[in-house]
Every structure is written in C-alpha cells, then in structure tokens.
Structure 1
C-alpha cells in the first residue's frame, strides 16, 4: 500500500475541468433525445471516467475503483451500516468485514467519512427519525424506537445537538417553512 492510498479522503472538492463539465452537459442533454441515449450515453460515461482518471482527483478515483482498496472495503461497510443502521454496531465485526484491525478500520473509516462509525450510524438514525416525523407524522418517541434508540431522552439530546432544536420544535419549524400545496 503506498502513501497516496492512505491519504485519500472519501469526500473531496476540487475545480472541475471544462472538458469534464462538457461531458456532464452532453450527458444531461441526451434527455432531450431519448432515442440517442442507448448509443451515446455509454460513450459519454466512458469519457467521464477517462476525464476523472486524468484529473486532479485521479488517485481518489483509482482508490474507489480498485478492487480490495481500503476505500472500497470501507464502502462495503458503509453499505452494511446503511442497511442495518437500527442494529447495534460492533466495531470488531465491521473491522473483520473490512479485513482490517479495529484500530486500522477506525482510522480508515474516519478518513473516508470524517466521522467515527458510531457517529455515522447516529447521523443515519437521526436523519431517518426526522424523515419519519416529517413524512409519516410519527411522534418523536415512536421515531426514536423505530430507528434503534432505547431512550427517548438520549434521542432528544442527540437530535437537538444535530439539528439545533428538540425533535417536535424542529419538525414544526420545517413544516411551517415548507410551501403550502
């Protein structure tokens, strides 16, 4: 494993080359001519891959695409956490899935997501609880239990920390800010 691989982040920002933006625009414009999509879209997507591999973030793109890379192994764990976010996390099990020691796993996970596995899971839970309260008119306690919290007071504290207000006040604020249909 080279030093570049260990320095790659999962989220990054850089200036997009004009040629890459042109590809994205051409791909989007295909929506105006659906009959051209089956023929032209694969070629434009291939060009986008080429432009990404030749661009400023080429090392990160290679890591994402390289089978067995640290980034790919962490991505597989992220998929598992997203699928099972209501279940308790065992770092040892996640590290084993990623074929890393727990310390190495924690380090690489944080490098890719900028948070620990537990913080990541907590954020997923809180976002889903917010969605349940908004879209399904669920109360805070019911939403908390549905996303895996055992203590409504802990849920409320963590929710307030993430969204800046207790659950029901946050939901009321969001509902009053949304346009009326």
Structure 2
C-alpha cells in the first residue's frame, strides 16, 4: 500500500513539475555562479559571481518567490523550503529604470518609494544624479512584467505632489514631478 501511495505521489509531483509556471518573459535564468540549496524549511541562494544579483525562485506549485538581493561572495535565505514546494528554477529579477526630470537644487537628492518590494512606502531608495535636472532611479528585484506604483521624494522627506505613478517592471519610465 505504501509503495502505491508513493508511486501516485511521485506521479502527481512529476505532473506539477511539468506544469510549473515559467518565469516572466523579461527575466532570465540565474547565471551558473548563483546556486541554491533547499531544506525542508528554507531556500538559500549562494552568489559566487563577481557582482551582487537580485534573484527570485519559482516553485513547482506555480508560485513565484519575492526577489532578494544576494551580495557577491555571500548567501542568504530567499524563500521557503520543500515543505512548501520544490523549487523549479532560480531567476534574475528584472531591472526597472525611472528617469526623473527635475532640478532638486544643490545639495539635495532624489529617492523613490513604491508599492512592491524591494521598494516600500516606509523608506526610499536613492536615485543617481545624471545632470542638473535628471535623476536615474534603478530598481532591481521586481519580477518582470509586474505592475507597481511609485512616487519620488526630495531628500527622502518631501513627497512629489499628485497621485502615484504607475509602472511595469522591466520597462523604462520618464516622469517630470512637481513638488
């Protein structure tokens, strides 16, 4: 009886693995220098690459994990173990660039906050000043094709006016905010 249950379970697991959802079209498989290990409770990613990476896991049950940053030469817990579901793949998360056309003034900076991790509404990620009136906000870690909302701030304390901006991960966005 146990052998029959095991065989049926293995057959069902094979079916689930074969029908697992693929990664978003904009994302690609993690490079060979990034590996994962899965215990009953945890999924860890090890990064042996020269640069840090943003990765997420897809599971055999069709679920997609939250993106996590893994610094070069380190490992970190990025998801649930096989007690939840087996991993079907590890993928690089898409990068999204928001070009902010605004002169923030000498000594000020621009940051971005948003609705989907790694962005949050609680604290901003810094943007890079490219010219007097151009700031570049690069967000890595939102799965490709996922919709999200965001706003930009001056010195991570003064919010831009108006409603939230709508974005889609993996695409570039240009905005001209008012403060």
TM range (shorter): under 0.3
Normalised by the size of structure 1, how large is the TM-score? 0.21
Q: Which fold has the larger relative contact order, with Cα–Cα distance below 8 Å and residues 6 or more apart in sequence? A: 2
* Structure showing the higher helix proportion among its residues: 1
Normalised by the size of structure 2, how large is the TM-score? 0.21
